[in-house]
């Protein structure tokens, strides 16, 4: 059995999920990286008044006509206005107000001259430069006008976006709660990190790798543990935690051996099987089911296959569930710097290093269980089924990932 295409698998997963991401309110400083739950409009203009962009003197531009270093114009200084203050009187001809950066421009003034172009007088000031109306003049709403759409629902908040909300007077923001993902790594061969490694056993690298990958996507992850690696124990563990998660991911137990228990787990839960096997290499035996309108996705237990499954399947599913476009895989093309001689019966994804439009294979080990060579790569080359190999200079499809961290 070859399996369905990757695109068909993603379509089935999107159609099957019916989770409802809840909304919560957070103070701005606690909302960085979170996804907006609604549109935000400007309740005020920014700046909220005409203001000065520099330290200098505000006056009527016509009063500076002909001013120069040789023939300065003298104006009477009526007062000083600092940022956070307001000069109430109207400024007349032949008058000026000393003004600081960010202060409101007084009535009657239509320009600001920087203090370096004056003698910086306190009672009278000599003007050494002629200005035109609205020189060095920031208008009310120049940055943001009242009623303007600031941020859209679905946008990921950043320090700059939070600063925009703060400049509008918002104290808190409505965001979607993080996606809750359960992770269970199956297999009698797995040994927890920190314990002695017995003959025939391996350390559970998948748990750490998938957990931290999920955290990079902003997922609230719950790592599940069980006492026995049996279908009954796994099904019981999943059932006990099902109401606490929005998406369940497992690794291992999805192939055809006697110890590949996830098929029995699906049956014990009474879950609806969506598919088993995707026509890709590595990570062919992906198993997916839907239980109580939530997805259960079983990934390969081999480390690189599990990583490839995560980038090709879990990442786009999470992007869909959270409506976060920024989480989608990044697709591009590049030119091969060396050759890959193997034939690909199925669609194959091999690890590579991508930089400045060039794609390089830093190693020859593409085995699904190999872990170390993943640290030398930041991309997956998407090789179509039936390929006889890749040549130097050939253009290839690439999916950017970061496995070097």
CA distances from 188 to 139, 147, 201 (A): 69, 60, 8
Name the residue ranges covered by the structural domains of the chain.
6-21+178-327, 23-42+153-176, 56-127, 330-400
Nearest to 247, CA basis, from 339, 167, 318, 304: 318
Kindly report the CATH number that applies to the domain delimited by 23-42+153-176. Answer: 3.90.105.10
Which of 81-90, 199-208, 292-301 has the least mean pLDDT? 199-208
Q: Residue 62, Cα to own-chain centre: how many angstroms?
A: 51
Question: Could you check whether 6-21+178-327 and 330-400 share the same CATH topology?
Answer: no
User: What class does CATH assign to 330-400?
Assistant: mainly beta
More confident residue, 366 or 26: 26
Q: In this predicted model, what pLDDT tens digit does every residue of 169-214 receive, in sequence order?
A: 999 999 999 999 999 998 878 888 888 888 988 888 899 999 999 9
Q: How confident is the model at residue 404 (pLDDT cuts 50, 70, 90)?
A: very low
Angle, vertex CA 339, rays to CA 335 and CA 345, nearest 5: 100
Between CA 35 and CA 329 the distance in angstroms is 18
Q: For residues 40 and 24, what is the distance between their CA atoms, to the nearest angstrom?
A: 15
Cα separation of 271 and 243, whole Å? 15
Q: Which tens digit of pLDDT belongs to each residue from 234-291?
A: 999 999 999 999 999 999 888 766 667 999 999 999 999 999 999 999 999 999 999 9
As a whole number of angstroms, the distance between CA 96 and CA 125 comes to 8
Beta strands at 287-291 and 330-336: parallel, antiparallel or unpaired: unpaired
Q: Which tokens belong to 391?
A: 């040549």
Rounded Cα gap, residues 10 and 16, in angstroms = 10
| Four-way CATH pick for 6-21+178-327: 3.30.450.190, 3.40.980.10, 3.90.170.10, 3.40.1350.10 | 3.40.980.10
CATH 2.30.40.10 correct for 56-127: no
Q: Identify whether 282 is preceded by a cis peptide bond (ω within 30 of 0).
A: yes
Which residue reads 């030119």 in tokens? 335
Secondary-structure percent of the chain, ordered helix, strand, coil, rounded to 5: 25, 30, 45
- In angstroms, what CA-CA distances link 54 with 98, 102, 164, 214, 359? 11, 7, 22, 47, 49
Q: What is the pLDDT of residue 187?
A: 81
Mean pLDDT confidence for 33-50: 95
CA 105 to chain centre: 40
């Amino acid at each position: 059995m070859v399996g369905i295409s990757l695109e068909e698998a993603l379509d089935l997963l999107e159609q099957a999920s019916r989770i409802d991401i809840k909304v919560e309110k957070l103070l701005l400083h606690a909302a960085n990286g979170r996804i907006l739950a609604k549109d935000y409009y400007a309740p005020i203009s920014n700046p909220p008044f005409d203001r000065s962009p520099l330290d200098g003197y505000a006056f009527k531009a016509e009063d500076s006509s002909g001013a120069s270093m040789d023939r300065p114009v003298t104006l009477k200084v009526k007062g000083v206005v600092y940022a956070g203050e307001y000069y109430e009187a109207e400024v007349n001809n032949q008058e000026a107000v000393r003004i600081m950066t960010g202060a409101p421009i007084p009535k009657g003034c239509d320009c600001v001259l920087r203090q370096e172009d004056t003698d910086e007088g306190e009672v009278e000031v000599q003007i050494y430069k002629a200005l035109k109306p609205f020189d060095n003049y920031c208008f009310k709403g120049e940055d943001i006008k009242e009623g303007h759409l600031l941020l859209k629902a679905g946008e990921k908040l950043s320090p700059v976006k939070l600063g925009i909300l703060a400049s509008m007077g918002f104290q808190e923001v409505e965001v979607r709660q993080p996606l809750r993902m359960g992770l269970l790594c199956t297999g009698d061969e797995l040994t927890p990190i920190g314990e002695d490694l017995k003959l025939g056993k391996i350390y559970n690298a998948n748990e750490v790798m998938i957990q931290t990958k999920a955290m990079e996507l902003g997922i609230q992850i719950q790592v599940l543990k069980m006492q026995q690696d049996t279908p009954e124990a796994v099904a019981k563990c999943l059932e006990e935690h099902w109401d606490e998660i929005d998406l369940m991911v497992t690794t291992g137990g999805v192939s055809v051996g006697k110890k590949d228990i996830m098929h029995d787990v699906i049956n014990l839960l009474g879950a609806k099987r969506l598919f088993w096997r995707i026509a890709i290499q590595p990570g062919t035996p992906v198993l997916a089911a839907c239980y109580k309108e939530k997805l259960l996705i079983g990934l390969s237990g081999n480390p690189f296959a599990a990583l490839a499954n995560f980038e090709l399947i879990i990442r786009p599913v999470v992007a869909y569930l959270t409506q976060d476009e920024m989480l989608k895989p990044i697709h591009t093309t590049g030119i091969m710097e060396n050759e890959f001689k193997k034939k690909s019966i199925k669609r194959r994804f091999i690890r590579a290093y991508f930089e400045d439009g060039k794609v390089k294979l830093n190693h020859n080990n593409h085995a699904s269980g190999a872990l170390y060579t993943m640290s030398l790569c930041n991309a997956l080359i998407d090789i179509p089924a039936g390929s006889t190999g890749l040549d130097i200079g050939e253009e290839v499809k690439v999916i950017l990932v970061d496995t070097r961290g």
